[in-house]
Amino acid sequence: MSSENVEEYLEAIHGFNEKGQPARTTELADKLGVSPPSVTEMIKKLAEEGLLEYEPYKGVLLSGKGMAYAQKIVRKHRLLERFLYDFLGLKRDRVHQEACKLEHGLSDDVADALCRIMEKPELCPDDGNPIPPCLLDVKDCEGCASARNKEHNNPRLVVQLSNFRVEDEGVVAFVRGGKNACKRLLDMGLTPGTPVRVISAAPFKGPIEITVRGTTVAVGRGLASSVFVEIEQELSELHPHHCSPQEASRPRGRHD
C-alpha cells in the first residue's frame, strides 16, 4: 500500500464487514478518531481506487481488492497479538495497541515466519477473532518459506473468491480445501489460471454467481472460500497531500 492511512481505513472497515455489517461513516469516525467529513472524503477516494463499495446512508463494503489488502494487514496485526501474548507475555489488554504500532512495518516474510514459529495459530488473543488464512499455494507450513522465496520478486495479491463483490474479477491462483470441495470446484472449471468474474452476489453469506469459461455458475460462499484468486494490485499514489488536512494525520482510534 502507498499509505499507512489507507491501511488503517481498510483495516477498520474489515472489522465491520467480517461481522456481516457494512461500515457506516459515523462508526468509522469513532473507531479511527477522525471527523465524519474526513471519513467521507477518504471513502470516496478508496472507492475510486476500486477498494470498496460506498453508497451514502447504506455503509461501506470492501471489494475483493480492498479485502485482499485489508486481510494482509489484519493477518499481520493478529499474528503480532498472538506473538506478543504467547511468547513475550504481554497482558491481553496491551497486545492490541502494541500490535497497532508494529503491523505496518512488518514484512510478509516476517509475518510468515511468525505464523510458522507459532504453528499456524487460528485466533487472536485480544478478542478471539480468526486470523486470516495464509495466501500462499502451500499445503502446510513446511512449504511456506520456499513458496515465499519464489514470490519475493513478484508478489501476488490473492484473496478468496468468497470475498468478491459484483464486477470483481481475477484469475484463479489455486484451490485449497477438502477433497470433495476441490473436486466440485475443478468440475466447475475453476482451475489455476482461469479468469473469473462476479456478476451477482448476495450480501455477505449468500451465494455468488460467476462467469467462468464462458458459462455462468452459482457458488456458495463456503465453497468459494476454497478458491484463491489473484487480482490486479496497481493503485494510484495516495499520499497525504491528496487528502484533506484532517486526513493527512494518521487516524488515532481503535482498529479492531
The DSSP line for 83-119 is: HHHHTS---HHHHHHHHHHHGGG--HHHHHHHHHHTT
CATH class of 158-230: mainly beta
Residue 114, pLDDT score: 95
213-244 burial, b at 16+ Cβ within 10 Å, e below that, comes to: eeeebebebebbbbbbbbbeeebeebeeeebe
Residue 254, pLDDT score: 56
Cα–Cα dist 204/221, whole Å: 8
Asked if residues 61 and 165 have their Cβ atoms less than 8 Å apart, the reply is yes
Give the number of other CB atoms < 10 A from CB of residue 72: 23
10-residue mean pLDDT series, the chain (256 residues) = 82 95 96 95 95 91 96 97 96 94 93 93 92 86 70 81 95 94 95 96 87 95 96 58 40 55
Fold of 1-155: Arc Repressor Mutant, subunit A (1.10.10)
Task: List the chain domain ranges.
Answer: 1-155, 158-230
Q: Three cell numbers at 22?
A: 457494512
Radius of gyration of the chain (CA): 18
Asked if residues 151 and 136 have their Cβ atoms less than 8 Å apart, the reply is yes
